[in-house]
Amino acid sequence: MAELTCREAVAAAIAQEMRRDPSVVFLGEDIGAAGGVFKTTVGLFEEFGPERVRDTPISEQAIIGAAMGAAMTGLRPIAELMFSDFFAVCWDLVANEIAKSRYMTNGQVSFPLVIRSANGGGARFGAQHSQAIENWAMMIPGLKVVAPSNPADIVGLLAASIRDPDPVVFFEQKSLYGTKGAVPDGEHVDTLGTAKVVREGDDATIVALAAMVPRAAEAADHLADEGISCRVIDVRTLVPLDTQTILSAVSETGRLFTVEENPRLCGWGAEISSIVSEECFYDLDGPIVRITTPHIPLPSADNLEDLALPSVERIAETVRVNMG
């Protein structure tokens, strides 16, 4: 087992897949000799050269358009958008072309491509560079949506995304880039559409994603000291969604709390809450509770951003009050 940071895990996954498959190419802003603005691509340019690791102009439309064309003609491109907020600039290509063309051509044209992006808050980048936009992507039919929380999952799920025949939007929570974790040696490939139980518990289920997973797990540790046993589930993949793991946990614990970085309105937790209420309503011992960021642009001031994002303390207090 190797100990890697999340940013090192990104480079490790891309290198693993580029060594395995010569059709994998990588393009984006400053990903080459500079090693990426978040240093997630260090060493790739030196190993694979300018033909397969291509720096692009500062144009999200150019990056995604080139990736779309490459995928249509037999390559497996990985495209990096520096900040996920910038999906807004090229949303027509993502939502109206890439997501729909396989369906509209009756399978004659496929799009085996991955769009990676730094996502979410916690790094003091302000309202235009800190949005968590998983809910933007998951509402578009034809896109798969992945958001890992640790280095091992970054390697395994990114490898699975690159090998997938469909377009995958892969979100990397930027405040996690410096965190470390063990990654299996050798080739590591995970399975899309699988959630993980990261902590067992009997009294309540807490469902979280990306940076909210370690916060939920820490909150569960505090609650355990008070006699409240919480099962924590890392969703990992929003599309496809592992409803079986979530529904099974809620049926056994009788309570559901979702912890999401998205603004409250139309967040992914609302969809999971809807599914749970339809599928196992009579197993619930109390109302489903969503712990979210308010429906506001995310502040850049340290104390205000910390107040807006779900914290360990807010998660624990919300569960405590509702379980009381």
80 is catalytic: no
Q: Calculate helix-pair angle for 268-279, 243-253, nearest 10 degrees.
A: 60
- Mean pLDDT (the chain, rounded): 97
Kindly state the helix (H) or strand (E) to which residue 274 belongs, with its residue range.
helix 268-279
Q: What are the backbone dihedrals phi and psi of residue 5, each rounded to the nearest 5 degrees, phi first? A: -80, 165
Of residues 156, 120, 192, the one with CA closest to residue 10: 156
Judge whether 279 counts as a catalytic residue: no
Average pLDDT over residues 61-67: 98
pLDDT band at 288 (very low <50, low <70, confident <90, very high): very high
Q: 251, 221 in Cβ contact below 8 A?
A: no
Full set of structural domains in the chain with CATH = 2-183 (3.40.50.970), 196-323 (3.40.50.920)
The stretch 138-149 carries a mean pLDDT of 98
The string of pLDDT tens digits covering residues 99-134 is 999 999 999 999 999 999 999 999 999 999 999 999
Residue 58: predicted pLDDT: 96
Residue 247 pLDDT grade (very low, low, confident, very high; cuts 50, 70, 90): very high
Catalytic residue among 60, 80, 134, 172: 60
Average pLDDT over residues 290-296: 97
Active-site hit among 17, 29, 80, 129: 129
What's the whole-number mean pLDDT along residues 84-113? Answer: 96
Query: How many angstroms separate the CA atoms of 168 and 28, rounded?
Result: 16
Backbone φ/ψ region at 107: left (φ over 0), alpha (ψ -120 to 50), beta: left
Q: Look at residue 1 and tell me whether its pLDDT is greater than 90.
A: no
Per-residue model confidence (pLDDT) at position 211: 98
pLDDT in tens, 213-232: 999 999 999 999 999 999 99
- For residue 315 the two structure tokens come to 């998660």
Q: Please count the other Cβ atoms lying within 10 Å of the Cβ belonging to residue 258.
A: 29
- Give the per-residue pLDDT at 66: 98
Place of tokens 């009294």: 203
Radius of gyration of the chain (CA): 19
Are the CB atoms for 48 and 35 separated by under 8 Å?
Answer: no
Of the candidates 228, 182, 232, 185, the residue with the CA atom closest to the CA atom of residue 203 = 228
* pLDDT tens string 2-16: 999 999 999 999 999
Distance CA 85, CA 104 (A): 27
Contact 134, 147 (CB under 8 A): yes
Per the listing, tokens 């974790």 go with 181
With a cut of 90, say whether residue 281 has pLDDT above it.
yes
* Residue 281: exposure state from Cβ atoms within 10 A (0-12, 13-18, ≥19): exposed
Strand 237-239 to 144-146 pairing:
antiparallel
Answer yes or no: are the C-beta atoms of 206 and 233 closer than 8 Å: yes
Taking only the tens place, the pLDDT of each residue in 16-33 is 999 999 999 999 999 999
- Among candidates 12, 43, 235, which has minimal Cα distance to 135? 235
Banded pLDDT at 51 (limits 50, 70, 90): very high
Distance between CA atoms of 55 and 66, rounded to whole angstroms? 12
